[in-house]
Amino acid sequence: MIAILEWTALAVCFVCLVLRLPATIKGRNVSLFWCFALLTVAVGLSIPDVYLPIDRLLGGHNIANLLLHLCLYAICFLLAVKIAAAYQSKIGLRLIRGRIGLLVLAVDVAGTLICFFISDLPVSRTGLAGYSDQTSVVAYTLFGRLYPTYAAAALIWPTIRGGISARRVLDKSAAWLMSLGFMLVPVVAILQLSGHGAGAAIHLASYAAILCVAIGLSLVWLSYARRPAMRQ
């Protein structure tokens, strides 16, 4: 089940990336293309069959896991700014692009880098499995959840409000899907803090969140693409 979710999430992200390519070539909404590109990389690096060979190419010391985290931070920032602006959320923009948001991002990136480089990670392991006995690795994992959870929390209300106020079915569906995806991110963080025995639930909630947000963004694009035809 987990493997199916992993590969489905990767396939959806890749299809979204390909669908965005024509518009990107024309210079339209380039940032969304890069969001899907980074998301495709991040989802791919969370899959053992992708992670392990790539990490070996990078030296076999789990640098790929660090790249995954940095990709997620970049995705969260870019998407949060874009979605908060799209739903005209001044508070959301302030929480992400303002001093507090940038401070949270800076602290999270610094903490992630410090914890990673002081950890002993001699062998490639997806998700750093087997290294949880190191305090620095535990802290590294917590830092990995901090900014995505913060950014997602800032977008829950704007997308819910968008789902309530939207008139078109596509726009309403997109907003509700994204709000569900953003609500699942704090759930993942809570499950992770709860300790052992929640591994399967964490994976399910994580990939469900990715699928909800990716499909929601695709519906936004589809709705936008259909509007010129609807006006004719």
Q: How far apart are CA 155 and CA 81, in angstroms?
A: 9
- pTM recorded for the entire structure: 0.89
Q: How far apart are CA 139 and CA 124, in angstroms?
A: 19
CB of 140 within 8 A of CB of 119?
yes
Cβ neighbours for 200, distance < 8 A, ≥ 6 positions apart: 2
For residue 138 the two structure tokens come to 């535990």
Q: Cα angle at 68 between 137 and 111, to 5 degrees?
A: 45
For residue 175 the two structure tokens come to 């907003």
Would you write out the chain's pLDDT as a tens digit for each of its 232 residues? 778 888 998 998 899 888 888 888 888 778 888 988 999 999 999 999 999 999 999 999 999 999 999 999 999 999 999 999 999 999 999 999 999 999 999 999 999 999 999 999 999 999 898 898 999 999 999 999 999 999 999 999 999 999 999 888 999 999 999 999 999 999 988 888 776 556 778 888 888 999 999 899 888 888 777 765 444 3
pLDDT at 149: 95
pLDDT at 164: 93
The neighbour count for residue 51, using CB atoms within 10 Å, is: 20
Rg (CA), the chain: 18
